[in-house]
A and B are shown apart, each in its own frame.
Chain A
């Protein structure tokens, strides 16, 4: 083959190799949707808000991770399932256990806020006897933290939640908030009352 005859095939080879090479180096073939992370691998979760709402968000994110790991599905797949369909008993149970596990994890890694940081917010929305509420507010933070354990409150709250009803209310923000706040407030209240009564 003469040089002239080989020129066009050689040019074509160079052009195709150059285009494919540059594209592969720049990520060609890997331009795909984000792959869901393994829910069994612990991840850090944060929230843009403080207080009970922020704590609830972190708890839910960790709880869904734990539930998805338990059910051997992706966190996103479980979230979509729960948002689109009536949850199965296995999903409800896994979610309950996942939330309890999330409380344990937050306690162990020291990310649970002290109870004193949540008391004022809980009391604001609680329907307590005025005298009892004033008495609780007057307590120093150190006393509150010694008397009330956040993990105990959260476990009580998770146990008190009707998760099936909660999931059915995902489209109704007010109802969702009402259920969450009621469960957490009730748990704080129960725990505080139990402690105060024990102290008295």
Chain B
């Protein structure tokens, strides 16, 4: 029985991490989902948007429901809904079904998140419970794309949802077995902490650029595998974890910690906009800055939004709402920017490819064959970065020309990487701008002298 009790809090924390990981977990799986469910880019984006939108909008109403119900029952119900709908997501045979399942998954997730906060506080105490809830959330947010990429590459996109089911199923009895929540003796009602939540929303919008666009750049722009992309973006999660000892070492004031976090996210995103090549190594330092910024700011802002405010569940709802509405706003701002830039990148990319083919050290007939194969490959690739390897694989060249053709293929791939990297630049800069707005929102209230 003591063993079961010991597992309660870790299982609740894992549930928090799972729900918040779901915000970005499907990013690397979107191309696979698009192909498997035979849908469009616009529709598949709703797999991502729907979850964040529903979670963002329902977090506060879900928290309100906890004021009139036993958190163990409602929390367990939320986790059960989350588990069942995760399984439904994995079994979805059409994009419409998947989006509906994701909406219901977010509904269960909203109840699970608020319930887990109440139960973690009951298990530990106010300070440790809130800290465990926040840490689990930061880890889940940062690790979501990594886990999703590895599972998609190793098994399939459905595996992302399947692996969540057993953890969530185990968390249902854990929630029911948790210590009863002591009702607040004083029926106090504090107003929501506006500025921490505004900063959280702006920062979440900015982090969308780091968590979603980096993955898209690596997989769609640079042609890396989901697993490679997953390992690469794990830098964010590692750096986020490293921020805690750094903050303990330097012990900055909370406002300074948040401001520095926003500044690091802005700096990291600006650095992502100025990559000097498509080598994965160049993404490490910018992502480390983003991860450090995320670790320093998100948990501190969440603490500020919750600290000494009652009812705790409702204020937790506001932070969840702010974060996920921020993600949706980020997607709404960034998606059209990078889609349009990717479209605009086609002409310079085609011209660069044409220049290289015209000047290639190949015989005239081979150049014409290459041009024809590339033309065939580019048909139907509107808005996507093409994979030219198929065009070169089909060529029937003389043995003494193969080395030159291989050099040409490498040079053309580099031009595509250059075009894709350039196409993402403005989006990263917009993300950096959002992080600077978040920084401004930290500074403005202090100037006015408001708490």
Contact = CB atoms under 8 A, between A and B. Distances in A.
A63 interface: no
Contact of B351 (A5, A80, A176): A80
B109 interface: no
Secondary structure dominating the interface of B: helix
25 contacts: A5-B253, A12-B260, A13-B263, A15-B289, A19-B285, A20-B274, A22-B285, A23-B276, A26-B276, A26-B277, A27-B276, A28-B274, A28-B276, A32-B421, A33-B348, A33-B419, A34-B352, A34-B418, A36-B355, A56-B364, A76-B354, A80-B351, A83-B375, A173-B368, A176-B368
Contacts of A56: 364
A49 B250 contact: no
Contacts of B365: 173
Interface of B: 246-247, 250-253, 256-257, 259-260, 263-264, 267-268, 270-271, 274-278, 282, 285-286, 289, 292, 345, 348-352, 354-356, 358, 361-365, 368-369, 371-372, 375, 415, 418-419, 421-422
Q: Is the interface of A mostly helix, strand, loop or mixed?
A: helix
Contacts of A47: 364
Given A23-B274, A173-B365, A15 B267 contact: yes
A16 B256 contact: no
A49 B260 CA distance: 62
Contacts, number: 134
A133 interface: no
Q: Which of A13, A30, A48, A171 has the most CB of B within 10 A?
A: A48
A170 B355 contact: no
Nearest to B247: A8
A11 B264 CA distance: 10
Contacts of B252: 4-5, 7-9
B363 A48 contact: yes
Given A20-B267, A77-B351, 14 more contacts: A12-B260, A16-B267, A16-B268, A16-B271, A19-B268, A23-B275, A27-B277, A31-B276, A31-B418, A32-B422, A33-B351, A34-B351, A34-B355, A76-B352
Nearest to A11: B250
Contacts of A132: none
Contact of A4 (B251, B257, B418): B251
Interface residues of A, number: 47
Contacts of B251: 4
B352 A5 contact: no
Interface string A120-160: 00000000000000000000000000000000000000000
A16 B351 contact: no
For the complex of A and B, the 4 pairs showing the least CB-CB separation, nearest first, are A16-B267, A28-B274, A76-B351, A34-B352
A165 to B, nearest CB: 16
A149 B11 CA distance: 89
Interface in A13-72: 13, 15-16, 19-20, 22-24, 26-37, 46-49, 53-54, 56-57, 61
B376 to A, nearest CB: 11
A48 B363 CA distance: 5
Nearest to B267: A16
A98 interface: no
A61 B276 contact: no
B271 A76 contact: no
Given A12-B260, A20-B270, A31 B372 contact: no
Nearest to A30: B276
Contacts of B369: 173
A88 interface: no
A57 B364 CA distance: 7
A8 B250 contact: yes
Contacts of A96: none
B358 A48 contact: no
Given A8-B256, A48-B361, A33 B289 contact: no
B284 to A, nearest CB: 10
Nearest to B369: A173
Contact of B352 (A20, A22, A33): A33
Nearest to A48: B363
A7 B247 CA distance: 10
Contact of A12 (B263, B282, B415): B263
